[in-house]
Chains A and B, each alone.
Chain A
Amino acid sequence: MRPTHIEDYLVNVRKGQWFGWSDSKNKIYANLIVHDGGSKPTEQQCTDGLKALQDAWDAANG
């Protein structure tokens, strides 16, 4: 399935349940919360990371 959301990028940043959403019905960057005390990716990193996943998927699936 083609990645469509920054969550698709975030699951690859660290393993486990390291992040969540302050409003799970509105998964936007502003609502991103970190559970594990680690660093929070920037919004740009999320945007770029999602695009890289999409580009890779498109290249692999035509």
Chain B
Amino acid sequence: MALSKIDIENMVTGELTTTNGGTGATSFSEGITEADTWRITTNFAGDADPITSNWERDDTDGNGYIGTGMSQSSGIFTFPSTGYYRVTFHHQFSGMVSGSNSNYVQHAIQYTADNSSYDDATEQWGQIFQNGSYNMATSSKIFDITDTSNQKVRFSTTSQGNNIYTQCHSTKNITYATFIKLGAT
């Protein structure tokens, strides 16, 4: 008699066989359980250390997020659950630079372990070389979040002179952050 079904509950014990390419693992892990994107809606000039205002969750053009999502207040992002998270910040900027000068732009993902004091967990630099030119910088880090009440992140940007503009939009992701939970801590 041909076998038409496999009785998983009764015929497979606690280990996945290594026959035919199995892993021998004793359990399955879930796929991505948290993924979220937040962006800044409004352009600004000069420094924002930290970036406190005009954040919104991506809500246009086939948007979506997985799980509970991040929560945000005054630019401080709280993780929805413990775990390893990859946080990435994409920063686009333009500038008005006179002559042959250039201006630097720096951004950071800032991290706190005590919900108070922040360190720059990443630091990324870019440069504007001429009037009206655009550039972008991206930084990323994997955080081990074991205490969602005290371990948080925020973002900052500083620049040389005052003629650097952070480019933002409310219907496109131009300057934005992504948060993806990679697994349990």
Contacts and interface: CB of A to CB of B under 8 A. Distances in A.
A15 B46 contact: yes
| Of listed A1, A7, A15, A24, residue having the most chain B CB within 10 A | A24
Contacts of A21: 41-42, 54, 170
A20 interface: yes
B51 interface: yes
Query: Dominant SS at the A interface?
Result: loop
B174 interface: no
Given A1-B132, A11-B43, A19-B42, A25 B170 contact: yes
B47 A20 contact: no
Interface in B148-185: 162, 165, 170-171
Nearest to B47: A16
Interface residues of A, number: 17
A14 B52 CA distance: 16
| Of listed B43, B132, B162, residue having the most chain A CB within 10 A | B43
30 contacts: A7-B43, A8-B43, A11-B43, A11-B44, A11-B45, A11-B165, A12-B45, A15-B45, A15-B47, A15-B162, A16-B44, A16-B46, A16-B47, A17-B42, A17-B48, A17-B51, A17-B52, A17-B54, A18-B44, A20-B41, A20-B54, A21-B42, A24-B42, A24-B54, A24-B56, A25-B170, A25-B171, A27-B170, A35-B52, A35-B53
Interface of A: 1, 7-8, 11-12, 14-21, 24-25, 27, 35
Given A8-B43, A17-B44, A24-B41, 14 more contacts: A1-B132, A7-B42, A11-B165, A12-B45, A15-B45, A15-B46, A16-B46, A20-B53, A20-B54, A21-B41, A24-B42, A24-B54, A24-B170, A25-B171
